[in-house]
Amino acid sequence: MKRSLLFLTIALLLGLGASIKWLSGLMVEGIPMPGEVPGEIGVFEEDIDIGPLRVDDIRRLPETNFIVRENCCELGNSLGPIWLRFKVRNDSTLINFDRSKTQFFTEIINPFLPKLSYFHFSETGELRDSFTTGAQGFTFRERPDPNARNFRFPLSLAADSTALIFIRLEINEPQHLRVLFFEQGERLGHQQWIVDILMTVFFVFCTLFLVLSGILIAVSREYFNWYYFFYILVTTLFILAHLGLGFKYVWPEHPALQHIVPMALNTLRLVFGILFFRLYFDLPRSASRFDRFVRGSVQAFLATLALQVIAQAFGSFQWVFYPFFVFLMLFCIAMLVWLLHEILFKRRTHISALLLVIGLNFIGVAATTLQYLGYSPAFFDITDDLLTAFGIANTFYLPPFVIAAFFLEMVLVFYFSVRRFLRLIEKNQRAELRIARAKEEGLNALVVGAENERKRIARELHDGACVNLAAINMKMDVLREQLTDSPDMADRIRDITDDLDATYREVRGISHDLMSKALEKTGLSAALEELVVRARQAQPGLEVQFYSNYPLDEIGGLSKIHLYRIVQELLGNVLKHAKAKHLHIQLIDNEGNLLLTAEDDGRGFDPKNVETDGIGLSNIRTRAEVLRATMHLDAAPGKGTFVSVEIPKEGL
């Protein structure tokens, strides 16, 4: 199953990649590859002791003063303002050159930059455009392009002309950024379409995952999974905030939140993930010492979250990420050691697949933390190259690798959750089956005991009380013959004899009700017909119709006794309570099942009245349950009663 899941995942990823590549090929045919870094970028760091430099001062500096970088830029060691310098040219010698394309964008990929100034000079040194904006002290609407989540600066460039761009970054913390260059139509058309499709698919999937997970948790009642639910929710919000969409749509007038919220969400998602891991593996019971370490780690991560908020209030917060990153690495190592111990020494090989999930989780947190520290891990470039191969420019500050890892993690965890849920259902079904069997065995034992007691009492009444009453009756007959000379006394004795005879018949009837001789000797069909005859004799005003097309004599064992008692209870209820004139009893063959119905035109009752569900109906329900039958009762005051009991073949 695990191998099949792996192959399916690989096939889906390859299929998705091929589809994107095909779509990209359709959309960018005849257009140069977009989003390329505009040549070599020179980086110059101001000397904070000299003071701030103006753009004219920077223009006069020789190019040798700028450190040339091909892939800008890790600014992790910078302590003051940074200047970026590069040239872009609208070159007519390019293949498929279009002279109508003169509008371009310079896009800075980092929504956390506190302040940056942009300057566009022509070939002759004329200042064409300048903008100042940022994510600290500048509302989102103050950007040159308020529709862009990144810092996007328009640039007009005629054919065969060159532009010289200077960007000043005022930073006092480590930073990481990328500079991309786009033709305006390509950026607002194909590239934006691709990004919108990918992000829509991603967030729709996240929403569906949350809905399905919520339903699954509510049904399975494994409430610790809510931690993973909130992990997904917080991570989804983190991705939105980290890409700059939170600043764009949620807090555009509060730039300070752009630094606090994404980093706080990053820490919270880690905490929720750890809490889910703790309860999923039941660490408090299975590994108490490691559980103490995990709980302490959660408290430490929450403490760093508090430090981030406090440090932000004083204007410097990124130093908090150094101890956070170090402790995160130590926690990952401890987690890996524990998992390997469980797999290798305790033989819990079923958790080996979760190594991938846990690894993806911590890689994502570590990657974003490195970004906060101003570093760009090597796999960032791999994802850039992969997207470029598909004709997609990477305009995400959060590495697509992290988003893809989170997406894969959701798929795997949902698969594990569904599989665990199915195992839980199977386990519950087995437990319910055992309980049902035990209950059935208990009911059968109870019924067998009751039937044996009925036989004993019936036998004692028949062989004891009935014999004694018959003997007394005979003696009274003899005494009556001896007192022929006293008519009054003879009449009294005759009355006593009649009472004794009535008592004898009543006791004999009770004995017969307790255990039918016909049921034991002639079979179920004859015993039921005898019941009907006795009901007619007991209440001459009641017309009883009995019909059966089921092979009743093929029913044996306890099923025969249960069915006989059900009919007996139905007849008894009608005789005692219904005051009916007509009663119809049928036993019908319904595709192999036995359908027993009893319908009368008596006074009926209200089924909602619990008191009416007396001993008789309770006995019927109990015996129907033993036979695995379905009982239906339809009654109303003044409208009679209808009872049906459908007994499946396996219950007979």
pLDDT tens column, 9-60:
444 444 444 443 333 333 322 223 344 555 678 888 887 777 788 898 888 8
d(CA 86, CA 68): 10
Q: Look at residue 385 and give its three-state secondary structure.
A: helix
d(CA 125, CA 122): 5
* E strand or H helix that includes residue 481: helix 466-482
- In which band, very low, low, confident or very high, does the pLDDT at 391 lie, cut at 50, 70 and 90? confident
Work out the end-to-end distance of the chain between its first and last CA atoms, rounded to an integer number of angstroms.
41
- In which band, very low, low, confident or very high, does the pLDDT at 512 lie, cut at 50, 70 and 90? low
d(CA 381, CA 367): 13
Q: Look at residue 551 and give its three-state secondary structure.
A: coil
CATH class of 539-652: alpha beta
d(CA 2, CA 280): 19
d(CA 619, CA 640): 20
Inter-axis angle of helices 257-280 and 288-313, to 10 degrees?
A: 170
Tell me what pLDDT residue 167 has. 92
Over residues 419-446, mean pLDDT: 77
Write phi, then psi, for 308 (nearest 5 degrees).
-60, -45
Tell me what pLDDT residue 74 has. 67
| Other CB atoms within 10 A of residue 354 CB | 16
Q: Tokens at residue 581, please?
A: 């004139």
Query: Starting from the edge strand earliest in sequence, which strands make up the sheet with 630-635, in order?
Result: 543-548, 582-590, 593-600, 641-647, 630-635
Tell me what pLDDT residue 230 has. 92
CA distances from 635 to 203, 602, 608, 642 (A): 55, 10, 10, 6
d(CA 34, CA 194): 13
Q: Is the peptide bond before 73 cis (omega within 30 degrees of 0)?
A: yes
Q: Pairing state of beta strands 593-600 and 630-635?
A: unpaired
| Other CB atoms within 10 A of residue 561 CB | 22
Tell me what pLDDT residue 96 has. 67
Please give the DSSP secondary-structure letter assigned to residue 139.
Answer: -
d(CA 71, CA 68): 9
Q: Look at residue 108 and give its three-state secondary structure.
A: strand
Tens digit of each residue's pLDDT (9 = 90 or more) over 520-548: 667 788 888 888 888 888 788 888 899 98
Write phi, then psi, for 315 (nearest 5 degrees).
90, 0
d(CA 527, CA 82): 105
CA distances from 110 to 36, 242, 398 (A): 16, 9, 9
Over residues 309-315, mean pLDDT: 68
CA distances from 299 to 267, 271, 306, 362 (A): 11, 9, 11, 17
d(CA 203, CA 196): 10
Tell me what pLDDT residue 480 has. 66
Tens digit of each residue's pLDDT (9 = 90 or more) over 247-263: 888 888 888 888 788 88
Tell me what pLDDT residue 455 has. 64
| Other CB atoms within 10 A of residue 197 CB | 12
Average pLDDT taken over every residue of the chain = 78
Tell me what pLDDT residue 121 has. 93
Select from 553, 555, 567 the least CA-distant residue to 623: 567
Please give the DSSP secondary-structure letter assigned to residue 461.
Answer: I
Tell me what pLDDT residue 560 has. 84
Write the CB contacts of 466 (distance below 8 Å, at least 6 apart in sequence): 504, 507, 508, 511
Q: Tokens at residue 405, please?
A: 């890892």
Tens digit of each residue's pLDDT (9 = 90 or more) over 585-642: 999 988 888 999 999 988 888 877 645 455 678 778 888 888 888 899 888 888 889 9
8 Å CB contact between 165 and 120: yes
Least confident of 144-153, 154-163, 187-196, 521-530: 521-530
- The residues spanned by each domain of the chain are 443-515, 539-652
Q: What is the dihedral of CA 134, 139, 145, 151, to 10 degrees?
A: 20
Tell me what pLDDT residue 130 has. 92
**Strands (E) located in 428-538:** none
d(CA 238, CA 371): 14
Select from 543, 638, 652 the least CA-distant residue to 589: 652
| Other CB atoms within 10 A of residue 15 CB | 10
d(CA 194, CA 400): 13
Tell me what pLDDT residue 9 has. 47
Over residues 387-400, mean pLDDT: 79
* E strand or H helix that includes residue 119: strand 116-121
Please give the DSSP secondary-structure letter assigned to residue 314.
Answer: T
Over residues 408-412, mean pLDDT: 80
Q: Tokens at residue 173, please?
A: 């913390």
Tens digit of each residue's pLDDT (9 = 90 or more) over 220-251: 788 888 998 998 899 899 888 888 888 888 88
Q: Would you say the pTM of this structure is higher than 0.85?
A: no
- DSSP for 539-551, written as a single string: -TT-EEEEEE-S-
Select from 86, 90, 83 the least CA-distant residue to 55: 83
Tens digit of each residue's pLDDT (9 = 90 or more) over 94-143: 666 677 788 898 999 888 888 899 999 998 889 999 999 988 888 888 88
Q: Tokens at residue 269, please?
A: 């998602």
Please give the DSSP secondary-structure letter assigned to residue 251.
Answer: -
